[in-house]
Structure 1
Amino acid sequence: MALGGILEVVALFIPWVTFTLGSQTASVTFLDAFSKMTSGMDSFAAMYVRFLAFILIAGTLLSTLPWTLGALRTKRSAYWFSGIRRRELTPPNFWWYRTVFAGRATVMLLFHIAGIIAMFYEDLSKIGLGAYLLLLGGVLVIVGAAIGPKLTAAR
């Protein structure tokens, strides 16, 4: 899970597009695209670059880190960190918590996929390493959320 979160953040600094004009080669990172956005652009791709990607990365980390790091230990912390109200945090209910947290991470990954496709819909072959790292990080976050925290044997 932690590796997935790190990959999602690092992906913003890795080239998303590399293109060649004559003998010149240029690379564009996500943050370069963010700095070049104009306020007149109103497509989904523009919203993704302008703010949605950052919200999704922060949301992914803030929603799954407490679960995978074991911050949900009591009924109260489970209530505040997870938003799950109906099921208590007990070992028999861990499957539900795993499903909810992995489901949330999956929805966020789907929004990332939609944003990347919207950015590169004209030519998907131009997608660079940064976008792939972001998607790989999202998959690792889903896997970490599905595995959940390590249960200790101490009683």
Structure 2
Amino acid sequence: MKTLYHTNFAVAVNWCNNALVLCNNIPQIDDSIWDNFEPIVDLGYEPEYDEEGDEIKPKCPECGAELEQVGPNMVCPECGDGEDQIEIYQWFITDCSKWDVEYLTQHFGLIFTYSDLLDCYILCVTHCGTGWGYVDWQTTNPNAERKLGEKK
């Protein structure tokens, strides 16, 4: 079982010291971002395994088919239903490397996509209206544990 630690979104985003530039019009100028989402990680999810040791994939509650990631959402390919649709409020161009993205995704549950047009990763922010230092977040990194408002 994973141990999760509380931190805040500002600490999570700045953990690798990457540069960010707000670019909320990227969905209008680069369609590739919808096809290039990194796998979404739910830090609290504990996978289940069958007798052969293969992971049991999440199923659609309506028809029982395996859910697939489409953009940032898990969607049923059979009936079109989805689980907890993710809405992205802000898009930030980053200078993240592939390693940075994998680390931030796996240990902080951040959401990234890739822009073919700009040849860089885009951070997808799923909340709005609150300063990042005051958005409660979780991490598997014990060194990143912080209270709301605390800095890295």
Q: Which has the higher strand share?
A: 2
From the CA coordinates, give the structure whose radius of gyration is larger. Answer: 1
**TM-score with structure 1 setting the length:** 0.25
The structure whose residues are more often helix, as a share, is: 1
Q: What's the TM-score once normalised by structure 2's chain length?
A: 0.26
